[in-house]
Amino acid sequence: MLRVAPWWDPTLALHGHDPLGDYAETYWTPVLGPAAIVTLRWANRMFVERSNGFEIRFADFARHVGLGSRRGRNSPAARCIDRLQYFGLATVRSRLLVRTHVPDLPTHLRRRLPADLRDERSQDQR
pLDDT tier, 69 (very low <50, low <70, confident <90, very high otherwise): confident
pLDDT of residue 71: 84
Read off the pTM. Answer: 0.91
23-61 pLDDT tens trace: 999 999 999 999 999 999 999 999 999 999 999 999 999
Residue 123 pLDDT greater than 50, yes or no = no
Average pLDDT of the segment spanning 81-99: 97
Average pLDDT of the segment spanning 84-112: 96
pLDDT tier, 121 (very low <50, low <70, confident <90, very high otherwise): low
Q: In what order do the strands lie in the sheet with 90-92?
A: 54-56, 2-7, 96-99, 90-92
Sign of CA dihedral 65, 36, 1, 99: negative
Average pLDDT of the segment spanning 91-118: 95
Residue 125 pLDDT greater than 90, yes or no = no
Average pLDDT of the segment spanning 66-82: 92
Residue 122 pLDDT greater than 60, yes or no = no
User: What pairing do the DSSP bridges indicate for beta strands 2-7 and 96-99?
Assistant: parallel
Average pLDDT in the chain: 93
Where in the chain are the domains? 2-121
Cα distances (angstroms) measured from residue 117 to each of 23, 45, 110, 124, 126: 11, 26, 9, 10, 12
Give residue 69's Cα distance to chain centre. 19
